[in-house]
Amino acid sequence: MGLSSLLTFHEGGKVYDSADLIADGEWGHMSGAGWWWMLVATLLWIGLIALVVWAFTRSSGTTSARPDPEAILAERFALGEISASEFAERRAALRKESVRGGKT
């Protein structure tokens, strides 16, 4: 049994081989619009996977926002790293700077 016998089929009493199919522009069930639908389905899957990856990385909790300076100062005071007078002095300086900088 040679390769040519593997690439032949019978339809309606006529024998076709791969050369006939290629010459006719047909290749089984994937002729015509079949290739386009396969391409569309592949692109849809790629898009769906990309969307899932994007959504997962977006919701992973990593943010690039800078922490609030007053919150850092309050945390340092709560941990005992700075005294009450130093806390008040630095908080006043931060608030004065934020008013000058146009922040609320």
Q: For 10-43, how does the pLDDT look when each residue is reduced to its tens digit (9 = 90+)?
A: 566 666 665 555 555 555 555 566 778 888 999 9
Least confident of 20-29, 57-66, 89-98: 20-29
For 6, how many CA atoms within 13 A lie in the half-sphere containing its CB? 3
Rounded to whole angstroms, the Cα distance separating 22 from 10 reads: 16
Please report, rounded to a whole number, the percentage of residues in the chain having pLDDT higher than 70: 58
Rounded to whole angstroms, the Cα distance separating 54 from 46 reads: 12
The whole-model pTM stands at 0.36
Q: What is the per-residue pLDDT for 13?
A: 64
Q: What is the per-residue pLDDT for 21?
A: 54
Q: What is the per-residue pLDDT for 32?
A: 63
Binned at pLDDT 50, 70 and 90, residue 88 comes out as very high
DSSP string, 37-87: HHHHHHHHHHHHHHHHHHHHHHTSS---PPPPHHHHHHHHHHTTSS-HHHH
